[in-house]
Chains A and B, each alone.
Chain A
Amino acid sequence: MEITTHDLWTVVHGMGFGTLFMLAFSGAIGEFYHLSNGGASFQQSQRDRTMLNLYLIAMVVIAWLTVFSGEYIVYPWYRAVPPAGTTDLSEYPRRLLLSSPRTSEWHNVGMEWKEHVAWLAPIAMTMVAYVTMKYGRTVMRPRGMRTAVLAFVVAAFFATGVAGAFGAFLNKYAPVRGGSTIVLMEGEQ
């Protein structure tokens, strides 16, 4: 069982940070729904508030790790330029996709959208975390603040969904390959 360093980092970026961030939305949306529908007598304990704050901080950290690892570790491998005369483009995903009209739009639309829109998510979630931590449960009482928090959570979720979905498709049609090989396990012959 082997994996290359490029494959490993792609998995850490997408399946590790990205998927974890995506999954965390279900908990955050559920908690915001709980807060906004708790009624006037609803009391949030200090422990619950601390847990929500830690949860949101973890989401923000993971969101930033996802976009930074994508842009500065995986993306340079994706857009690597092959030496002149190279015919095997399997280690040059961008060039591989652009080499055929049947796959070029995976780059021109998919990657071009993914690489930019993903950055909206950590900006939005940082704001959501800050406002929620500063105002506590009262963030859900004034309609204006609640509207902004929920809208930016949904926007971040959508941006993450777009980036994640295109990431999965791109990795299917033109996976990031190369780097040194890490042997995880030796098999029986």
Chain B
Amino acid sequence: MSMSQTSELPNGSGAAAILGAGIGCGALGILAFWGDASESMGKALNIYNPSGTLSGVTTFAIIIWLVAWFALDRMWRGKTVEIMKVNVVAFALLAVGFLLTFPPFMDLLQGK
């Protein structure tokens, strides 16, 4: 495929991957926080006992990421979307992922 052809590719699939990754990172943070803040959620996320709650947090975050990526790709494939808006949402979700996995911030939100 020549460079001129690739440069004309619609950005929809790329935008879907970017937002999908943001959703996956955000989901990881939210699940980590939820599992830490709620005892019942912590138990529900314990799907592999040797690894505890972490097993459910990461498994469900991966599932949410892949499903979101797949759905967004089906919706945006072959289209050109406003990538800057996609980036803003993806970066916000990435920040959520970082903040909600940082224990002092998790404790702060829980009033510990």
Contact = CB atoms under 8 A, between A and B. Distances in A.
Contacts of B14: 131, 134-135, 139, 145
Interface string A123-143: 110110011001111110110
B11 A123 contact: no
B6 interface: yes
A135 B9 contact: yes
B86 to A, nearest CB: 8
Interface stretch (A5-13, A21-29, A70-78, A95-103): A70-78
Identify whether the interface residues of B are mostly helix, strand, loop, or mixed.
helix
Contacts, number: 111
Contacts of A109: 103-104
A123 B65 contact: yes
B58 to A, nearest CB: 5
A120 B9 contact: no
A130 B72 CA distance: 15
A131 B101 contact: no
A71 B32 CA distance: 14
A35 interface: no
Contact of B6 (A131, A136, A147): A136
A124 B104 CA distance: 23
Given A79-B52, A131-B18, A138 B98 contact: no
Give chain A's interface residue range (CB within 8 Å of chain B): 35 or more
Contact of A117 (B20, B83, B84, B98): B98
B87 A148 contact: yes
Contact of B51 (A43, A76, A136): A76
Contacts of B57: 116
The CB with the most chain B CB atoms within 10 A, among A76, A123, A135, is that of: A123
Interface in B26-84: 28-29, 32, 36, 48, 50-52, 54-55, 57-58, 61-62, 65, 83-84
A135 B67 CA distance: 22
A152 B6 contact: no
A144 B3 contact: no
A155 interface: yes
A131 B17 contact: yes
B6 A127 contact: no
Interface of B: 1, 3, 6-7, 9, 11, 13-14, 17-18, 20-21, 24-25, 28-29, 32, 36, 48, 50-52, 54-55, 57-58, 61-62, 65, 83-84, 86-87, 90-91, 94, 97-98, 101-104
Given A76-B50, A116-B29, 20 more contacts: A71-B51, A71-B54, A76-B51, A79-B51, A117-B101, A117-B102, A120-B25, A120-B101, A123-B21, A123-B61, A127-B17, A130-B17, A134-B14, A138-B6, A144-B83, A144-B84, A145-B11, A147-B87, A148-B83, A152-B18
